[in-house]
Structure 1
Amino acid sequence: MKFKKLSITLLTLILVMTLSFTILAEEVNLRIYHVNDVHSRVEEDDYAGSMGYAKMAALIKEARREKENVMFLDAGDTFHGQTIANINEGESISHILDLMKLDAVSLGNHDFNYGQDRLIELDEMSRFPFLAANLSREDGEEISYTKDYIIKEYDGVKVGVFGLATPETSYKTHPKNVEGLVFENPITTAEEVVNELEDQVDVVVALTHLGISKGSEYTSIKLAEEVSGIDLIIDGHSHNVLEEGMMVNDTMIAMAGEYSKYLGYVDLTVENGEVEAINANLIPREETAEVEKDYVISLVVDRVNKANEVITSQVVGRTAVELNGARGNVRTGETNLGNLITDAMKAKFGADAAITNGGGIRASIDQGEITQGEVITVLPFGNTAMLMELSGADLKAALEHGVSEYPAAEGLFPQVSGIKFNFNGDAEPGNRVQEVWVGGEKLDPNKMYTAATNDFMKAGGDGYSMFADAPIVSEAGGLEEVLMEYIEANTPVAPEVEGRIIAD
């Protein structure tokens, strides 16, 4: 009898262990949808190639009906960029993403464009957290509007998501927006966070706004190369389209382009606490033609647009040609829209020259009527126009800096008026500019010139440190207002590419 009891006990133990092993060995599948650098392009748009949030919401909602485990992440540059967001300083975007059940957002450089006080308000009104583990304050006080990471559980699998903001934020938003903030080294920060998470979670996800641009010191590629233990990086900032992701060491990097042109998703299979399979994919806008827009998101967008329409629909003039503000063009060469904007700045002050950063130009304008809304979309940052006085040597140094990252499509690339210069893009940075003319005459390094710029650059934004100490001669209000005034006075406008900037 004792042997029989022992056998039954042993059999029971074996059965329990077998069942336990079966449960532990069960595969858990997780799908992570992701976007980045939407810049508030929330509507479907043929011209920009945008899918829009309403179709994204429909696709994610369908996946949540069909799959048990679905996450939705945003890698930053979310709350700013288009009229629908800028007029209410991001509130409409917060509301829409809440309705889409966003799990988390990493803070991009342009998410600071309304200032820190507004970020506090946006965080308070949003049901999803803002992640930036490498963000701190100079005075040591806690930052109320960010978290280092979150942990979510799916069928027993714990997923840790931590955020990283690009240190470039210190000069890729207006410096006043980040006063008192420190953007720590994202590599060392990631090492610390991964060490903290590794005993708590099965899957580690870095939600980053670093990008993979060769012009950046810190990239997601460098992160994957130098920090082990990260299963997936959902990235933004450089606007790259990674159709099937990019494997670096044992880390998958995923990025979904820009402007809601793509909805990304990553499928993970987790077994016994280990990621056994990971696959990245993109859904391009072209494949969503038959997708029916989510009714609620569409309704919200329509209501916000109607409220804004009184302001944005006013016509300020006409253009006889398409005005080229495409990202890849204004950041690598002269465009007619860049010429129009800088001509307006130069004319406003009667300046010798004008210079603005290509990264501040965010859209093109079709031939025909130009509305206030279109101008605000082109120049969405609320920058003011300023006139400064600086030496020819400093002006040349600014142009050298502006072409230092060429041919990379970086926002510091200059658009100019009253200036003509040529440069050798193959030469060492700092020695690329060959000849410069101002007002048709060769630049005199010892002469003082008046130059119009925007307050972002004047404060050293985009690395234009040579402007920071230049005396301010005059200010003229919003840059978008200066442009609208110029268009109205000169309509119809028909700017051309004139050879102001020549790459040899």
Structure 2
Amino acid sequence: MMNKQAAWAGLFLILAAFAWMGSAAAADGARSGTLTILHTNDFHGRYMPFAVAPGNATAQTGDPGRAPQSFARTGKVNGFARLATAIAQIRRERGPTNVLLLHGGDTFSDDLLGNLTRGEAIIRLMNAVGYQFMALGNHDFDYGVERTRELQRLARFPMRGANVIDQASGRPFLGNPAVILTAGGLRVGILALGYHNTDQTGSPDNTKGLRFTSGIEAAKRYVPMLRRQADMVVVLSHQGSKVDRILAREVPDIDLIVGAHSHDEIAPPERIGKVRLVQALSDAAVLGEVTIRVADGQIAEVRGVAHTLWDDRYPADPGVSRLIERLRAPHRAQLEAVIATAAERIGRRYKSESPFDTLAGEILRRHAKAEVAFLPGVGYGVSLSPGPIRREDLYTLLPHPSKVVSMRLTGAQILAILEQSATNQKPENPLDAVGGLVQTAGLRWTVDLTRPIGQRIRDVAVGDAPLDPDRSYRVVTHSGMLQGIHRYGTFAEGRDIERTEDKVTDVVEAGLRAMGTVRAPALGAVTLIKDET
């Protein structure tokens, strides 16, 4: 009861804040003007240029398990120095008071420099280019709640989520989850929404003291308040495009949803009823731009493009380049240590069998002398390009301090894990989707997402032998899976559980060093039958 009372008290205080912010707004009448919103999402700690080509260049490009998405050509993209140049060009062209700069979350971790600075590096770079508002993504708690508080104190912009609730106070974590900014002579009400399944995507310790609720329900409460105080309403959402489409249908008073989490490139804006939806891929490879013209209080025109930050198109900003060098300098030897050589591109896929994760699983399987390896399907990471593999390249794919765990599982339990993965991909309720397809080594299996829940896995074999439901198998995974991330509670039911202090990243690094020259593993152990509906 007390938590509910605190929540209502918090909502009352926020409503009062809205009334104060916009006390003069209602009397001003309908306005006209034009503004530009620049937006990024899902940096995952990326701040340096990286090589791309058509196909599997990042975790969610060139993945046959999801909607087709790929870079158009070979080259280098990204780098905060080039992002700064693109932002500055648009501010000069449109006028700085007519431009807003927003970020959709999953910001400062999943990278070696991010780990070494505990998120500070990206926050300092975001301060340098003038970000104004950010939604909290699920990976923005990777260093724990207290560190997120510290990073908010360092940031010159609010980091918020209306559905990220501080359990002690019942109020949104870090403060008011909405702002009213002025651009192009227009009042823009912006509401931040976090990922409702955040507590299922990482260590429970990272989000202790927080509760994650429905962003859609939060928007139903906050959007009417913003609508009364602003000329337009923007939702900055870390929920993924599938959930954002539901949000657009259920809360039609939103003008624009700036999306994140699903790493989609949505430009020009997609229209769902009167609501527009955009998203800017991931890894700071793309800068999204939306220009909105309002006439007499009504949106008259919306235009949107996605600028891929090719290094041969956008020169590096000198000041940001110097800042990057200063941030890297104390850690350069660790970042740039060469651990092996890639003979070809070795990519990560999120919704289908992943080359890198198959390789890492085989290394873990040999290390633990296991028959089967499991790794979670994760949606971040940049493919290893042909040439030297530096330690920081590996950490874009395995950034977390997960420890190697071994156990014995029955064939029936292995089947349950595979079925859970299939359910995660296509649950009855789209809001229950979490994580990517579980990644395996030592297994052959078919997943058919056209079939009913609980009947989607077939033709499972361990090595050359069909899976025996009654037999016990030695399995290796990591501590996050043992804790039940992505709803994989079955691992904790195993027998003879052996926890080690060996970090997965260290074991994989040692395995790559031993190989010297690394090739992408042969795929085909997992057959995916997609549901195209």
TM range (shorter): 0.7 to 0.9
| 2:332 counterpart (288, 309, 314) | 309
CA contact (8 A) 2:418 2:457 kept: yes
Offset from partner CA, 1:277-305 (integer Å, 9 cap, x none): 2222222235x734332211111112222
Greater gyration radius? 1
Distance change in 2, residues 1:371/1:154 (3 Å): closer
CA contact (8 A) 1:389 1:473 kept: no
Residue equivalent to 1:402: 421
Residue equivalent to 2:98: 69
Q: Which amino acid aligns with 1:44?
A: P
Distance change in 2, residues 1:391/1:147 (3 Å): farther
Q: Which amino acid aligns with 1:492?
A: T
Residue equivalent to 2:142: 113
Q: CA deviation at 1:100?
A: 0.8
Distance change in 2, residues 1:136/1:330 (3 Å): closer
* In 1, Cα distance between equivalents of 2:479 and 2:373: 13
Distance change in 2, residues 1:223/1:141 (3 Å): closer
2:228 alignment partner, SS class: coil
Question: Is 1:223 aligned to 2:223, yes or no?
Answer: no
User: Where do 1:287-326 residues align within 5 Å?
Assistant: 289-325=312-348
User: Where do 1:329-478 residues align within 5 Å?
Assistant: 329-335=349-355, 337-359=356-378, 362-404=381-423, 411-470=435-494, 472-478=497-503
CA contact (8 A) 1:76 1:237 kept: yes
Q: CA deviation at 1:485?
A: 1.6
* In 2, Cα distance between equivalents of 1:334 and 1:95: 33
Residue equivalent to 1:492: 517
Offset from partner CA, 1:242-268 (integer Å, 9 cap, x none): 121111111111111122222111112
Q: CA deviation at 1:101?
A: 0.9
Q: Which amino acid aligns with 1:349?
A: A
CA contact (8 A) 2:98 2:185 kept: no
Q: CA deviation at 1:138?
A: 3.7
* In 2, Cα distance between equivalents of 1:272 and 1:361: 43
| 1:27 counterpart (29, 32, 44) | 32
* In 2, Cα distance between equivalents of 1:181 and 1:101: 28
* In 2, Cα distance between equivalents of 1:55 and 1:283: 11
1:381 alignment partner, SS class: coil
CA contact (8 A) 2:31 2:231 kept: no
Q: CA deviation at 1:241?
A: 1.2
Instruction: Tell which deviates more after alignment, 239-248 or 37-46.
Output: 37-46
Q: CA deviation at 1:28?
A: 1.7
CA contact (8 A) 1:400 1:433 kept: yes
| 1:243 counterpart (267, 276, 282) | 267
Distance change in 2, residues 1:57/1:387 (3 Å): same
* In 1, Cα distance between equivalents of 2:380 and 2:471: 30
Distance change in 2, residues 1:456/1:360 (3 Å): farther
Residue equivalent to 1:16: none
CA contact (8 A) 1:411 1:462 kept: yes
Residue equivalent to 1:36: 41
Residue equivalent to 1:6: none
CA contact (8 A) 2:100 2:183 kept: no
Residue equivalent to 2:235: 206
CA contact (8 A) 1:175 1:456 kept: no
Distance change in 2, residues 1:360/1:346 (3 Å): farther
Q: CA deviation at 1:209?
A: 0.6
Offset from partner CA, 1:427-481 (integer Å, 9 cap, x none): 2232122122224333222233221112222211122122244353232421110
CA contact (8 A) 2:288 2:305 kept: yes
Instruction: Tell which deviates more after alignment, 48-57 or 347-356.
Output: 48-57
Instruction: Tell which deviates more after alignment, 101-110 or 316-325.
Output: 316-325
Q: Which amino acid aligns with 1:344?
A: I
CA contact (8 A) 1:119 1:145 kept: no
CA contact (8 A) 1:50 1:259 kept: no
Q: CA deviation at 1:150?
A: 1.0
Q: Which amino acid aligns with 1:41?
A: R
* In 1, Cα distance between equivalents of 2:371 and 2:468: 13
Q: CA deviation at 1:146?
A: 4.5
Residue equivalent to 2:64: none
Q: Which amino acid aligns with 2:80?
A: Y
Residue equivalent to 1:480: 505
| 1:54 counterpart (54, 60, 81) | 81
Distance change in 2, residues 1:374/1:212 (3 Å): same
1:497 alignment partner, SS class: coil
* In 1, Cα distance between equivalents of 2:30 and 2:466: 75
CA contact (8 A) 1:166 1:186 kept: yes
Q: Which amino acid aligns with 1:445?
A: P
Alignment root-mean-square deviation, CA: 2.5
Q: CA deviation at 1:483?
A: 0.3
Runs of at least 5 residues in structure 1 that lack an aligned partner in the other structure: 1-22, 214-218
Q: Which amino acid aligns with 1:203?
A: M
CA contact (8 A) 2:352 2:528 kept: no
* In 1, Cα distance between equivalents of 2:515 and 2:128: 44
CA contact (8 A) 2:165 2:173 kept: no
* In 1, Cα distance between equivalents of 2:170 and 2:424: 36
CA contact (8 A) 1:403 1:413 kept: yes
CA contact (8 A) 2:113 2:335 kept: no
* In 2, Cα distance between equivalents of 1:24 and 1:225: 28
Residue equivalent to 2:161: 132
Offset from partner CA, 1:73-116 (integer Å, 9 cap, x none): 00111112222323212101000111111011101111121221
CA contact (8 A) 1:41 1:50 kept: no
Instruction: Tell which deviates more after alignment, 439-448 or 196-205.
Output: 439-448
Q: CA deviation at 1:498?
A: 5.0
Residue equivalent to 1:18: none
CA contact (8 A) 2:425 2:435 kept: no
* In 2, Cα distance between equivalents of 1:500 and 1:290: 40
Residue equivalent to 2:10: none
Q: CA deviation at 1:204?
A: 1.0
The two structures have a TM-score, normalised by structure 1, of 0.87
Q: Percent identity?
A: 27
* In 2, Cα distance between equivalents of 1:484 and 1:43: 21
* In 2, Cα distance between equivalents of 1:53 and 1:85: 14
2:409 alignment partner, SS class: strand
CA contact (8 A) 1:75 1:234 kept: yes
Q: CA deviation at 1:495?
A: 5.1
